Amino acid sequence: MTHLPDMTAEYRPLGRTDIRVSPVAFGAWPIAGMTSIDVNDADSLATIAACLDVGINFLDTAYCYGPNGESERLIARAIGANRDRVVIATKGGIHWGPDGAQTLDGRPETLRRECEESLRRLGTDRVELLYLHAPDPKTPIAESAGELKRLMDEGKTRSVGVSNVGVEGLAQFHAVCPLAAFQPPYNMLQREIEADSLPWCRERNISVMVYWPLMKGLLAGKLARGHVFDPRDGRRKYPMFSGEEWEKNQDFVDHLRAIAAEIGKTVAQVVVNWTIHRPGVTAALCGAKRPAQLRENAGAMRWRLSAEHLARIDRAIAERGTPITRGAVRS
């Protein structure tokens, strides 16, 4: 990694902390290789190592990214001596059961064990941000929050966040442990948080770090209308990728392609730029498996869409209508 100082100008505060993060973050779920195909360690290591070169200092992973923590282990291998130049976020509270199913476990003892194991995998004594990955219906969220606060007080994390909750869960968590960040799904076609949790966080100076800005590649503009998904591709189970929803989405992406061509950007760069400049959004988590994808994601920073193009995007979103998004899973 070669640090480029001129790329840090757009870095943003993480909540009320003195930590600053790039508005485009490296989402490390794809390199776990569980739902993405054609993943290999050499490409993953090269992608992570290129982050600072392209101005991305924010790496987002989780205890359950990989059946054996592959994502965290790869990050440790790739950053090496550059540990103090990156901001690492990880998450606890979800693991994989013997049957391969996701298991929610927000018990204090589990969160502590997973945090300590994540630190060992990452080769560090602390992370900058530790999330409760999702609430455990069998454990009061206040109990989970209390343990994350203890881990923060002990210096194992510099700040705490929560993911995949509503406003009520945010309030309950924040009452026990001060939140620095909230991580929900959000993109041009999934904007539910604008009605409640996004303004709630803005009022309290809590950073909103959104995942799925490209809706698992749907909004990247690279999937042709006639694309046939590999049977191993996890996207096949989402309504957004089939039938009438797919056709509507392709029509929508055609509008984005026209804008991208006019301004000399890719569709993905237009979409991510729109996302990171939404009021209250601190960063967008963009997955990447190869350095070229990372460079494209980074190209969404340090410029802004014009008012005219924003208005055209608004019209295209309205024309698209409300999508069917049932079946979404945690990321």
Q: Tell me the CATH number at 106.
A: 3.20.20.100
| Per-residue pLDDT, 4 | 44
Distance CA(179)–CA(257), nearest Å, equals 38
In a domain, 331, yes or no: no
Residue 7 has which token pair? 């790329």
Q: Among this protein's residues, is 65 annotated catalytic?
A: yes
148 domain-assigned: yes
**Is residue 240 domain-resident?**
no
- The verdict on residue 233 lying in a domain is no
Asked if residue 41 is part of any domain, the answer here is yes
Using CA atoms, how far apart are residues 140 and 184, in angstroms rounded to an integer?
20
**Closest residue by Cα to residue 77 from 128, 30, 130, 124:** 124
Task: Say if 49 falls within a structural domain.
Answer: yes
In a domain, 284, yes or no: yes
Taking only the tens of pLDDT, the chain with its 331 residues reads 444 445 666 899 999 999 999 999 999 999 998 877 789 999 999 999 999 999 999 999 999 999 999 999 999 999 999 999 999 999 999 999 888 889 999 999 999 999 999 999 999 999 999 999 999 999 999 999 999 999 999 999 999 999 999 999 999 999 999 999 999 999 999 999 999 999 999 999 999 999 999 998 899 999 999 999 888 888 888 889 999 999 999 999 999 999 999 999 999 999 999 999 999 999 999 999 999 999 999 999 999 999 999 999 999 999 999 998 765 444 4
What was the pLDDT predicted at 9? 65
Domain contains 59: yes
CA dist 238 and 224 (Å) reads: 17
Query: Which tokens hold the place of 17?
Result: 């902390």
Task: Return all residues near 51 (Cβ < 8 A) that are at least 6 apart.
Answer: 1, 26, 57, 59, 86, 294
pTM for the structure as a whole: 0.93
Total domains in the fold of the chain = 1
pLDDT at 100: 86
Active-site option among 11, 63, 65, 131: 65
Query: Can you give the pLDDT at residue 325?
Result: 76
If phi > 0 it is left, if psi is from -120 to 50 it is alpha, else beta; for residue 242 that is beta
Burial of 210 (0-12, 13-18, 19+ CB in 10 A): buried
Dihedral through CA 100, CA 41, CA 270, CA 320, nearest 10? -30
291 CB neighbour count, 10 Å cutoff: 17
Long-range contacts of 253-261 (CB under 8 A, 24+ apart): 253/218, 253/219, 253/221, 255/312, 255/313, 255/316, 255/319, 256/219, 256/221, 256/313, 256/316, 257/221, 259/305, 259/309, 259/312, 259/313, 260/221
Please give the residue range of the domain that contains residue 119.
5-217+267-302
In this predicted structure, what is the pLDDT of residue 108? Answer: 98
Of 38, 89, 24, 66, whose CA–CA distance to 294 is shortest?
24
8 A C-beta contact, residue 73 and residue 119: no
